[in-house]
Structure 1
Amino acid sequence: MALYVYSIIAADHPARLDTLTGVGAEPSALRLVHAGSLSAVVSDIDHEVRAKRRDLTAHQEVQEQLMADGTVLPMQFGYIAPDDPTVKEALQQGEGAYLDALERLKGAAEYHVRASQDEEELLREILGESAEARRLNDRIKAGDADPRLPLQLGELIAVEVRDRQEALAAGLVQALLPFAREHAIRPPADGDILNVSLLVPDDQKGRFLDAEGSLARQVNGVDFRFTGPLPPYSFV
């Protein structure tokens, strides 16, 4: 029977699994597959697992329960192995790398930071600070029929927006890095200017959260979304 693999943990992890529910329409009990110094948290499945809310929640709850008791290497949702021997072989072959990763992630959690900027406020800022943008905009508003003006203004504003948002995002990351052990920057999407994950040691959590709050209060026109603590998916 195939196995759904949730996480890799150290063999001495408490692994309190009794209260957890696995994935699937008829979830099997969670159990451990042992190999040397490592264990994999798995459950038996007999069908394809889809990314439904219930299963996504079950997968996440397993990570959070394990994370509460020790270090965990969380698998991305949907990782399936054909059988126990395949999982044992993978643990044995990757034992050194997995143990190194467990040590690297010990005593830390992932925090995810996204930010978006009020575009209308940014445009007003550009028109107020860029003499060239203001000149082109004034000519258009005054009825200048030169067909090149809208294109020139659009190109100028696009460059200004890109440069300013990149500089702002870089500044925000630099403000948070002192509290993180590692970080991973991803391309922003859906209108965001920042999409970054940070691996924050437990002893820096308070200072990190204070820095988050300070940024949210001090940076005008920016909407922050902070998520965490999370299992360290981005750093496995």
Structure 2
Amino acid sequence: MALYVYSITATTHPCRLDGLTGVGAEPAPLRTVTAGQLRAVVSDVDEEIRPKRRDLAAHQEVQERLMADGTVLPLQFGYTAPDDEAVTQALQQRSESYLEALERLQGCAEYHIKASQDEEALLREILNDSHQARLLNERIRAGDTDPRLPLQLGEIVAAEVRDRQEALAAGLVQALIPFARDHSVRAPADGDIVNLSLLVHDDQKDTFLQAEASLAQQIDGVAFRFAGPLPPYSFV
């Protein structure tokens, strides 16, 4: 029977798993596989695990329970191994890197920051600031039918939007990374301009959260979405 692998911890971690259920249509009890100074938290599965809401929630609940009691290396959803022996071998073969990662992540949690900008407000700002864009827009609104005008205006506005959003995103990242031990910048999606993950130590947590709140209050036209503390998936 295959194993679903949730996390890797040190053997000193208490691994309180009581009351938790694993993934799958008929969840098996959670248990551990130990090798040297490491252990993996697993459960038996006899099916292909897909990202259904119930299973995603079960996976995350295990991470949060373990994280509450100590440092954990959370695996991304869906990781499986053929059997206990395969897990044991993986722990033995990569023990040094896993132990180093546990030490690096000790006392830390992950925080996500995403931000989107009010597009209408940004367009108004560009038309106000850019003399050329404003003139083209006024000619179009006045009824000038030159077919080149919309294309020229679109090119100017697109370039301004790109440059301004890139500069704003870079500024936001630079304002937050001093509070983190590590960070990961990903390509934003769905209209966002920032997609940032930060590894923040507990000692910096309060200061970091104050900085987040301050940014959200100071910058008009930008909507922030903050999440955390979370298991440090991005830094394993």
Band the TM-score falls in, shorter-chain normalisation:
over 0.9
Which amino acid is 2:125 matched to?
E
**Partners of 1:26 and 1:220 in 2: CA distance:** 49
Kindly indicate whether residue 40 of structure 2 is the aligned counterpart of residue 50 of structure 1: no
Which amino acid is 2:13 matched to?
H
The match for 1:101 is 101
Give matches, 1:100-139, under 5 Å.
100-139=100-139
The match for 1:14 is 14
**Partners of 2:146 and 2:231 in 1: CA distance:** 56
**Partners of 1:192 and 1:21 in 2: CA distance:** 35
Which amino acid is 1:117 matched to?
Q
The match for 1:215 is 215
Secondary structure of the corresponding residue to residue 78 of structure 2: coil
The match for 1:149 is 149
**Partners of 1:163 and 1:62 in 2: CA distance:** 42
5+ residue gaps, structure 2: none
Kindly indicate whether residue 77 of structure 2 is the aligned counterpart of residue 77 of structure 1: yes
**Partners of 1:45 and 1:167 in 2: CA distance:** 48
Give the deviation of 1:18 after TM superposition: 1.1
Instruction: Count the aligned residue pairs.
Output: 236
Give the deviation of 1:213 after TM superposition: 0.5
**Partners of 1:230 and 1:128 in 2: CA distance:** 41
Deviation track 1:5-46 (CA, whole Å, cap 9, x = no partner) reads: 000001111100112111111111100000011000000011
Q: What is the TM-score when the length of structure 2 is the normalising length? A: 0.99
Q: Which runs of 4+ in 1 moved over 4 A?
A: none
The match for 2:195 is 195
Give matches, 1:221-236, under 5 Å.
221-236=221-236
Secondary structure of the corresponding residue to residue 7 of structure 1: strand
5+ residue gaps, structure 1: none
Secondary structure of the corresponding residue to residue 210 of structure 2: helix
Which amino acid is 1:7 matched to?
S
Give the deviation of 1:129 after TM superposition: 0.5
**Partners of 2:40 and 2:129 in 1: CA distance:** 57
Give the deviation of 1:92 after TM superposition: 0.4
Give the deviation of 1:158 after TM superposition: 0.3
Give the deviation of 1:131 after TM superposition: 0.7
Secondary structure of the corresponding residue to residue 188 of structure 1: coil
Superposition RMSD on alpha carbons, in Å? Answer: 0.6
Secondary structure of the corresponding residue to residue 217 of structure 2: helix
Which amino acid is 2:16 matched to?
R
Give the deviation of 1:138 after TM superposition: 1.0
Q: Percent identity?
A: 74
Q: What is the TM-score when the length of structure 1 is the normalising length? A: 0.99
